[in-house]
Structures are given as structure tokens and as C-alpha cells.
């Protein structure tokens, strides 16, 4: 390929990558919003808000499919090599993680609907903290991807530790509540799952961060072994 054609091709590739990154950013915002709203709906027992999250999940699924199709189209038409190919592949994988996170948010919103207006067995404090951390982790991981910032990506690891510790704490607390009052068992079991899903969300954010590190450095690193 001569110099001018090569240059033109790079411009087209970068334009298409920019477009894909914008869509990824949009998907990330939707997922952050879904996490925030799912937990807010649970905390305030807001059924309407929970419905919004459940219904919104389909849009996130569609967006994921669109991005995925565009990644394949980009690979097919531009035939990127080496690092460029990895950039596309990483973006492709990130959307899978984001989509799973949105699924968990939707699961949480379904718990809000399941609990309905039955009084909460305890005010929710640690669960919203886990959610805030998970949102922060997604945001950091996506920013790290766009800026190829390894340090920022690595900073997701300590957040994941904190989420894991919060989950262990919530697990113990809920077991104690159930043992003291068997009438709480049904709701407490649901809340156990909420905790676990938040923990899984933060694992997905950690996956994204690890992908970013691999993209930039070529080395596989476990952020939270």
C-alpha cells in the first residue's frame, strides 16, 4: 500500500473507532444509570423506577448488538492489524461485560418489584455503597480504555477488594437477621442475591480494567487475585 492510501485508511479507521467509542461511552452511561436506579428503587421501594430499569435492559441489549455488529464490520472492511485489531477486540469484549452488568441491574430491579411495599427488614446502607463503588469502577475502567491509562485501570483493583469486603459483611449481617427472626428469611434471601449481584458487577468492571491493561501492556494481570 502506498503512503497516501495508508494514511487515508488510518483516518477512516480512527473515525470509525471514535464512533464506536462514543457508542461504548453511551452504553457505559446507560449501565451506570441502570445500576444507580436499580439500587435507588430498592432503597426507596419505588416500583415505577424499578420498571424503568427492567424495561431499559432491552435497549442496552440492542446497543450491545449494534456495537458488536459494527466491530465486526470494522474488522471486515478495514482489516486492522496487531494493536488496532486488539483495540477492536477489546471494545467487543467490554460490551459483553457491560451487558452482563445491566442484566444484574435488571435482576435487582426485579427484586424491588418482588418485595413490593412489604417493609424492608433493615435500612439499606452497605448495598447502596457497593452500588456506588461498582458505578465508579465501570466509569474508571471505561475511561482507562479510552485513554489507554494503565494506572487508572489498576486503580479498579482496590475498589473491587472493598466491594468484596462489603459483600462478606452484608452476608454475615443478613444471616444474623434471618436467624433472629425467621419471618425475615424470604426478603433477606432476596437481599443476599442483590449483594452477590453487586459483587459480580464489580468483577465485570475488574474484567474490563484487566482487558485494558492487556491491551496497553500485552500482559495479563489479575487485579484482584
Q: Which stretch binds its own copies (CB under 8 A): 43-51, 113-121, 122-130, 176-184?
A: 176-184
Q: Can residue 1 be called a binding residue for its own copies (CB under 8 A)?
A: no
Query: For residues 183 and 95, what is the distance between their CA atoms, to the nearest angstrom?
Result: 40
Q: Can residue 113 be called a binding residue for its own copies (CB under 8 A)?
A: no
CB 24 within 8 A of CB 95: yes
Mark residue 46 as left, alpha or beta (left: phi above 0; alpha: psi -120 to 50; beta: remaining): beta
Q: Can residue 192 be called a binding residue for its own copies (CB under 8 A)?
A: yes
Least Cα distance to 88 among 32, 7, 16, 152 occurs for 16
# chain residues binding its own copies, by CB under 8 A: 29
Q: Which stretch binds its own copies (CB under 8 A): 32-40, 150-158, 159-167, 185-193?
A: 185-193
Nearer Cβ to its own copies (19/83)? 83
| CA gyration radius, the chain | 20
Cell 415505577 belongs to 48
Nearer Cβ to its own copies (36/42)? 42
Query: For residues 208 and 100, what is the distance between their CA atoms, to the nearest angstrom?
Result: 12
Residues that bind its own copies (CB under 8 A): 65, 68, 72, 75-76, 79-82, 85-86, 89, 92-93, 96, 171, 174-175, 178-179, 182-183, 185-186, 189, 192-193, 196, 220
Amino acid at each position: 500500500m502506498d503512503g497516501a492510501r495508508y494514511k487515508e485508511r488510518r483516518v477512516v479507521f480512527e473515525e470509525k473507532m471514535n464512533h464506536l467509542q462514543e457508542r461504548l461511552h453511551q452504553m457505559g452511561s446507560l449501565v451506570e444509570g441502570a445500576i444507580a436506579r436499580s439500587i435507588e428503587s430498592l432503597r426507596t421501594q419505588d416500583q415505577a423506577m424499578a420498571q424503568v430499569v427492567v424495561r431499559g435492559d432491552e435497549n442496552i441489549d440492542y446497543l450491545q448488538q449494534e456495537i458488536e455488529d459494527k466491530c465486526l464490520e470494522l474488522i471486515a472492511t478495514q482489516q486492522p492489524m496487531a494493536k488496532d485489531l486488539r483495540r477492536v477486540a477489546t471494545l467487543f469484549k467490554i460490551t459483553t461485560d457491560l451487558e452482563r452488568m445491566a442484566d444484574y441491574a435488571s435482576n435487582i430491579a426485579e427484586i424491588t418489584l418482588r418485595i413490593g411495599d412489604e417493609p424492608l427488614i433493615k435500612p439499606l446502607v452497605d448495598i447502596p455503597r457497593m452500588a456506588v463503588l461498582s458505578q465508579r469502577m465501570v466509569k474508571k475502567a471505561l475511561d482507562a480504555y479510552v485513554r489507554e491509562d494503565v494506572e487508572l485501570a489498576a486503580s479498579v483493583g482496590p475498589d473491587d477488594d472493598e466491594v468484596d469486603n462489603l459483600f462478606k459483611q452484608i452476608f454475615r449481617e443478613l444471616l444474623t437477621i434471618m436467624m433472629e427472626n425467621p419471618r425475615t428469611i424470604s426478603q433477606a434471601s432476596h437481599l443476599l442475591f442483590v449483594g452477590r449481584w453487586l459483587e459480580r458487577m464489580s468483577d465485570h468492571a475488574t474484567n474490563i480494567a484487566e482487558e485494558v491493561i492487556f491491551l496497553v501492556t500485552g500482559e495479563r494481570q489479575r487485579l484482584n487475585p
